[in-house]
Structures are given as C-alpha cells and as structure tokens.
Amino acid sequence: MSTEASAVSDTSPPARSTQDLARAAVSGWLGTAMEFLDFQLYSLAAAIVFNEIFFPDVSPAIGLIAAMATYGVGYVARLAGAVYFGRMGDRIGRKRVLFITIAMMGLSTTLIGALPTYGQIGILAPILLVVLRLVQGFGAGAEIAGASVMLVEYAPKGRRGLISSLIALGTNSGTLVATGIWALLLATLSDDQLRSWGWRIPFLLSFVLLILALWIRRNVKESPVFEARDDVVDGVALKREELHGESKLEAGLRQNKGKAFFMALGLRIGQAGNSGLVQTFLVGYIGTTLGLDKSVATDSLLVGSVLGFATVPVVGLLSDRFGRRVMYMGISAISMVLAFPMLLLVTGGSTPGLVIGMILGYNVSVLGLFALENVTISELLGGRNRFTQVGLAKEIGGIATVAAGPVIAAGLTAAFDSWWPIAAMLVAYSFIALVTAYLMPEVADRDLSALEDAV
C-alpha cells in the first residue's frame, strides 16, 4: 500500500460558518445567474434577430432553423467541458475549476456583442459566432454542474432542497435580467436599430456581472464534503492505484456504475427538454409562425420569471418535507396534463391566454422541475465522481433536448403546419422524468461523503 493511501482516514466534514455558507450560496447563485443570462441572451437573440443578421440570405423559416442550430452547437462543446472540468473538479476540488469556467463563459459572451455581422464580413460572421459559442459552451459545461454540487455539499441535512434551490433561482434571475433587457430593447428600439446595434447591448453589459462573479469566487472556501472524502489527501483525490488495499474505498470503487447515472440523465431530459421548447423555441414560433409582436413572448417570460421567485423555493422546501421522488413524480404529471391546454392558450389568438400559457409552462414544466433537479442528481451520485457525472448527465441531456429539441420542433411544426408536435414533445419529456422518478430510490439527505452511488 502506498504512503498516500496509508494516510487515508475517516473524517467529518470540516466546519463551515454561516458566512461561508452565504458566500457559497451567493457564488453558486451568481455563477448560475450568469450562465443563464448568457443562455437566455443568446436564445432570445437567436429567436429574434440572429436569423436576420447572421443568416440573411435564406427564408425566415430556414433562417430560424439555422439560428437555432447555431445556438445548439454550444452544447457539443459543453459535453467536452463537462468531461474535462468535471474530472478536474473531482480530482483537485470544486473551487478552482469554477473560477476558470466562469471566466471562459463570461468572456465569450461579451465578445459575441463585438462580432461583425454577415453584412459586414460575410460568411466569416456566423463562423466566428460558432467559435465563440464553442468556447462559451466548453466553459459552461461544468459551471452549473459544479455550482450545484458545491452548494448541495455545503447545505445542511434537512435544508438541501431549499438551499440548493438557489441554483434554480440563479437560472431564474439570469432569465429575468436577460428577458427584461430584451423586452426593453424591443419596446424602445426600432427594428432597424435593433438589427444594426441594439442587439449588442445585452452581451456587452454581461461583462459587469463577470467581474462581480470572479471577485466573489476568489473568497469561497472549498466544499467541506470534498475535503472530508476518504480518498482526498492534502486537497487532492488519490488515484485508483493509490487506493489499493483500502477495503472501504475499494468497495465504493467496485460498485457497478451506470444505473444512477442513467436515472440522473432521465431526470435531466425531462426538465431540459421542456426548457428548450418553452424558453427558446416558443419565443421564435410566436414571432415567426404566429406573426405576433416579438415582445409578447419576452414579456410573458418576464412575468413568469418574477413568479418563479416564489415557485422555486416552495418546491425546494416541499422536497425537504416530502422527499425528492414524490415531488418529481407530481410535477412531471402536472406538466404532462398541462401540455395541450398550455399550447391551446398560446396559439388561441388571445394575448392574455398566450401570457397565461407561457407563465404556466415556464413555472411548472421548467422551473418546477429544475428546483428539484440539482439536489436530486447530486444525492443520487457518489462522491468519487459526482462532479463529472452531474456534468455529463446535464450536458448529454442538454444535447438530446435543449440543443436538438428546438430544431426538431421547428421541423415538425413546419412539416405539419400545426402546434400539436410542441405539446406532444412536452408530454414526452415530462413522461421520461415521471418514469425515472418512479424507478429511483428516495435520496433526500443521503450521506454525500459516500463514494458509491445511491443505486
């Protein structure tokens, strides 16, 4: 047995003060807010103007599909980032990785606002847009996974659902700010002003948030669960060969991997699929196919984001009270029931009905599930590879749904000249989450220092 392995001992997580928890919470909230600010800025830009300024030589429908496809390429880079930074985070800790990822993500977003358009440099413009999306995605691939893991590992038992819901509030905050900025631009600028220079404003303003996020992350302590893991010595996880002979650790490593990961993936697909349809595709569909003012969709998401500040903590608190499993099944079932009525409201020709439909879809099918996702997936997975597995589940699920879903929905609605494929896709995504939750064990308040998965 190696010298390093002989140093392994059982320890309790090091004490963290209320101030430490507050810093970790603000760091996680702000980093996630920034990621989803970037996400929503780009997704709204793709739905509203990018088809005109980066893909102007095609029909509106094809331009929308091209813009959505460009939006989706970042998810390929996110998967690579999840693997690269996830393994780094499991090896050397969460803190240092999260500093790197937020810097990459924020700088790329800012630079999108400085890009020349197709009219200025031709085909090079969308190529540069794709490059920045790839760099942005590589950093973002581990951001929300790392922030989620960090905050769940900081949170005390009995309050993990509520405290980790701050991650979902971060996504809601980013969505709210991005949607608010776009709503203001649509209300105050002409179409020509928006296409010529107005679209740049949200991306350039994101630099301010980047500076604040980097400053806060410098002062956050490492995850107490990571530091207390049996396989971590002097802040670095021992390699597999260095663990030889430690029976407890070997038992965790011998566990057949995969079952918990696929459960995490199923939970992720339910939420991410709904998010891609409601937050991205419907915005473009309302403006392009239904021919309504583009501000109607953004205003609806704006109101939905405000209401989400109540939805998210309530769902997190209820999951602490009743468990993750029953809450997942309940919200997934409600989302399935609401899918067709929601689309009837959105497409029925009534602006108030459209707003109500968008608010319901966003708060139930998107935010309701996301309030549960981060804590549940983190509790499902073992401490040895938690960062990597959470990142992979999120990003593989994102590629399968958030990246591909809007493109598929655009193709299906064009082919059938109807809205029903959108509702059917919402039902399918929510059904996957429902079945997964039914099959999984209850994981609320599971020991996070355990190296093995919950199943």
What's the pLDDT score for residue 392? 93
What's the pLDDT score for residue 12? 58
For residue 439, count other CB atoms closer than 10 A to its CB.
13
Tokens of 396: 């593989």
Question: Distance between CA 134 and CA 12 in Å, rounded?
Answer: 40
Is residue 411 over pLDDT 70?
Answer: yes
Is residue 330 over pLDDT 90?
Answer: yes
Flag whether 293 is in a domain: yes
Question: Distance between CA 284 and CA 303 in Å, rounded?
Answer: 18
Highest mean pLDDT among 281-295, 297-311, 347-361: 347-361
For 200, counting Cβ atoms within 10 Å of its Cβ (0-12 exposed, 13-18 middle, 19+ buried), the class is middle
Residue 29's domain is classified under what CATH number?
A: 1.20.1250.20
What's the pLDDT score for residue 254? 58
DSSP secondary structure letters along 398-430: HIIIIIHHHHHHHHHHHHHTSSHHHHHHHHHHH
Is residue 360 very low, low, confident or very high in pLDDT (cuts 50, 70, 90)? very high
Domain containing residue 69: 18-219+255-439
Flag whether 200 is in a domain: yes
Question: Distance between CA 272 and CA 394 in Å, rounded?
Answer: 8
Highest mean pLDDT among 33-47, 285-299, 359-373: 359-373
Flag whether 454 is in a domain: no
For 228, counting Cβ atoms within 10 Å of its Cβ (0-12 exposed, 13-18 middle, 19+ buried), the class is middle
259 or 21, higher pLDDT: 259
104 phi/psi in degrees, rounded to 5: -60, -45
Q: Tell me the helix, strand and coil percentages in the chain, rounded to 5.
A: 80, 0, 20
Closest Cα partner for 356 from 374, 343, 371, 372? 343
437 or 401, higher pLDDT: 437
What's the pLDDT score for residue 376? 96
What's the pLDDT score for residue 55? 66
Flag whether 229 is in a domain: no
**Which residues have C-beta within 8 Å of that of residue 418, sequence separation ≥ 6?**
none
Cα–chain center distance at 157 = 24
235 or 272, higher pLDDT: 272
Is residue 313 over pLDDT 90?
Answer: yes
What's the pLDDT score for residue 18? 77
DSSP secondary structure letters along 55-82: STTS-HHHHHHHHHHHHHHHHHHHHHHH
Is residue 144 very low, low, confident or very high in pLDDT (cuts 50, 70, 90)? confident
Question: Distance between CA 355 and CA 117 in Å, rounded?
Answer: 33
Is residue 283 over pLDDT 50?
Answer: yes
pLDDT in tens, 230-264: 777 777 776 766 665 555 555 555 555 689 999 99
Identity of the amino acid at 300: S
The residue-averaged pLDDT of 344-358 equals 92
196 or 333, higher pLDDT: 333
Question: Distance between CA 376 and CA 161 in Å, rounded?
Answer: 8
Tokens of 366: 């998107």
At 171, is the secondary structure helix, strand, or coil? helix
The residue-averaged pLDDT of 69-90 equals 82
Q: What percent of the chain stands above pLDDT 90?
A: 33
Is residue 8 over pLDDT 50?
Answer: no
Is residue 106 very low, low, confident or very high in pLDDT (cuts 50, 70, 90)? confident
What's the pLDDT score for residue 132? 87
Flag whether 444 is in a domain: no
**70, 129 in Cβ contact below 8 A?**
yes
The residue-averaged pLDDT of 108-131 equals 84
What's the pLDDT score for residue 315? 96
Q: How many domains does the chain have?
A: 1
Highest mean pLDDT among 97-111, 117-131, 135-149, 313-327: 313-327
Q: What percent of the chain stands above pLDDT 70?
A: 88
pLDDT in tens, 189-245: 888 888 888 888 888 988 888 888 888 888 888 888 888 887 777 777 767 666 655
Of the given ranges (47-56, 100-109, 356-365), which has the lowest mean pLDDT? 47-56
For residue 385, count other CB atoms closer than 10 A to its CB.
21
What's the pLDDT score for residue 256? 57
For 12, counting Cβ atoms within 10 Å of its Cβ (0-12 exposed, 13-18 middle, 19+ buried), the class is exposed
Position of tokens 């993500």? 105
Identity of the amino acid at 313: P
How many Cα atoms are found within 13 Å in the side-chain-facing hemisphere of 293? 13
Flag whether 95 is in a domain: yes
Flag whether 369 is in a domain: yes
Flag whether 177 is in a domain: yes
